[in-house]
Amino acid sequence: MEKYFALLVAGTTLINSGASAAGCVKGAAAGAVVGHVAGHHAVAGAVGGCLVGRHLAKEKAKQEKEAAQAKKAQQTPQAAPDQTPQSAPAK
């Protein structure tokens, strides 16, 4: 069983590129352990863990992007009204 897990992790690492594998390797490792403990279903657990890990990584990236945009919007200086006193018209 350990041999299959090692092959699964190696295959997942080689097949997926770095950007699209975000969260997959961690999820696959955790899912394989849980699947093995739950009745020797390590491969099914790894596949499920990979899917869940990728979903969570995409959600986290989306939240980070939104937070960065909000921070950028707050840092943009607003046009301040002219604070110099204006002289009253002469009579």
Residue of 64, 22, 30 lying closest to 48 (CA atoms):
30
Answer for the pair 24, 54: CB distance below 8 angstroms, yes or no. yes
Does the pTM surpass 0.85? The reply is: no
Q: Report the candidate in 55, 2, 64, 4 with the shortest Cα–Cα distance to residue 26.
A: 55
**According to the model, what pLDDT value does residue 85 have?**
59
**Each residue of 34-84: pLDDT tens digit?**
888 988 888 888 888 888 988 999 999 999 999 999 998 888 766 555 566
Nearest-angstrom CA–CA distance, 36 and 25:
16
pLDDT band at 86 (very low <50, low <70, confident <90, very high): low
The two structure tokens encoding residue 75? 């840092």
pLDDT in tens, 37-50: 988 888 888 888 88
Domain residues of the chain, as ranges? 2-65
Helix (H) or strand (E) holding 63: helix 42-75
